[in-house]
Amino acid sequence: MLILLLLFLILFSALELHKKQTFPLLVLFLLSSLAAFIEGIRWYSGTDFFMYYNSYEKVLNATTEPHNTRYEFCYLYLTKGFKILNIPYTLFLLFLSFFSVLLYSNTIRKFTIYPLTGLLVYFVSIIGFWGSNRQLIAMAIVFFGMNYLMEKKYIKFIVLVLLASCFHTTAITMLFLLLLVHKIDFKKWMILGGGVILLSFLPLESIVIRLLDFNSSFFPYFKERFIVYSQFNEAKVDFFKNLLGLIRKAMPIVFLILFKNKLQHLKGYVFFLNISIVSFLVFFLASLNFTYLLGRFTIYFSIYECIIYSWIGYIVLDKDKWIKYSSLSLFYFFCVFSFFRSLKLYQELFIPYKTIFFTF
């Protein structure tokens, strides 16, 4: 099912780019709705399914479900509202998926004339996170807030980030996006890069654990979860894969710099270049210290690649046929690779894909 959806999105992206045609907004809405529907009907599929399912079923009696005692209050009260109305969990998932996907698609279309291609890249980037209910909502709200960030409506952006953090606490860190709107001097990037390299030599795991000990009343459950995650580090470290990951994180930076003359006039160019550099630096730091949390650390930044890579249409469509088709072929190969790479850690949770109707 997921592979069929991938091929379907590739088909419409290819039509969009091949014909240099902007499809009606209805097409974007229907494709987004299809992706949201497939996400929403999953059953025993996706990350953390049982944790969130059990939490939902027992949300009105928090003492029997420990996870409900630590969820952020917006997510907790949202689930309580649905449960009080006796709404089945599948309908709750459908609400979450439509809410998130439509926020993304509505934002993507404001930054590119190739939104179907942006939707494709969004899908292959996010698929491995289906099931992370709270984080997906938080990410969607922050992503939507980018509209206000680009329009310099900073108060509205801050409000949305604060709202997102009420679904997943980590979203509060996205307030630093305010610093990425304007051009940053090369010298400052070099200083920041040097600082990241120096930090990578520190025993960051033990430092984090000490901080969590010191603030145990404020972070009552973080230490336990962090230690569990960190136990995976030694087993998961793979320097070759991390090198490939760094190359992948460098790709949007190279793309934006290499084709600066054609892209710098586009809305948000400076912001997307800055966040791509930050994504690279964060990946580098996390790959040496918090390997098991790489995905959860970097997805907040890499999700913006759905807009960056949709700009390929501005570059290749005016080239001769050989360059055009070879470039697009490489792009779609990259999308397929990203799709399977996103699923690799929990492949058994997605393939075959289980839904309330069928398994496929």
Q: Look up the pTM and report it.
A: 0.90
Is residue 19 included in any domain, yes or no?
Answer: yes
* pLDDT of amino acid 294: 62
Domain assignment of residue 96, given as a range: 1-100+112-131+319-360
pLDDT of residue 235: 46
Q: Is residue 26 in some structural domain?
A: yes
Cβ neighbours for 215, distance < 8 A, ≥ 6 positions apart: none
CB contact at 8 A, 353 and 360: yes
Q: Which residues, 6 or more positions from 259, have their beta carbon under 8 angstroms from its beta carbon?
A: 314, 315
In order, the DSSP letters of 82-102 are: HHHTT--HHHHHHHHHHHHHH
pLDDT of residue 64: 53
132: left (phi over 0), alpha (psi -120 to 50) or beta: beta
- Predicted local distance difference test score (pLDDT) of residue 184: 93
Closest CA to 175 of 189, 165, 188, 167: 165
Distances (CA, A) of 184 to 245, 256, 278, 290: 24, 15, 12, 27
Count helices and strands (H / E) in the chain: 19, 0
| Nearest of 279, 311, 314, 309 to residue 294 by alpha carbon | 279
- Structure confidence at residue 198 (pLDDT): 87
The Cα 219–Cα 216 span in angstroms is 5
Nearest to 72, CA basis, from 138, 169, 171: 169
- Is position 32 within any domain? yes
Query: Does any domain span residue 177?
Result: no
* CB within 8 Å of 135: residues ≥ 6 apart: 129, 167, 168, 170, 296, 299
Under 8 Å between Cβ of 143 and 302: no
Residue 254 belongs to a domain: no
Residue type, 69: T
In a domain, 199, yes or no: no
Please indicate, yes or no, if residue 77 is contained in any of the structural domains. yes
Predicted confidence (pLDDT) per residue in 279-305, tens digit = 999 888 877 766 656 666 778 888 999
Please state, in angstroms and rounded to a whole number, the distance separating the CA atoms of residues 251 and 247.
Answer: 6
How far is residue 188's CA from residue 212's CA, in Å, rounded to a whole number? 31
Domain count, the chain: 1
- Residue 118: predicted pLDDT: 96
**For the chain, which ranges sit under pLDDT 50?**
218, 233-235
Place of tokens 């108060």: 155
State the residue for tokens 């009696």: 61
The 10 Å Cβ neighbour count of residue 265 is 9
In angstroms, the CA 164 to CA 141 distance is 6
C-alpha to C-alpha distance for 162 and 173, rounded to whole angstroms = 10
Structural contact between residues 74 and 107, judged by C-beta atoms closer than 8 angstroms:
no
Residue 42 forms part of a structural domain: yes
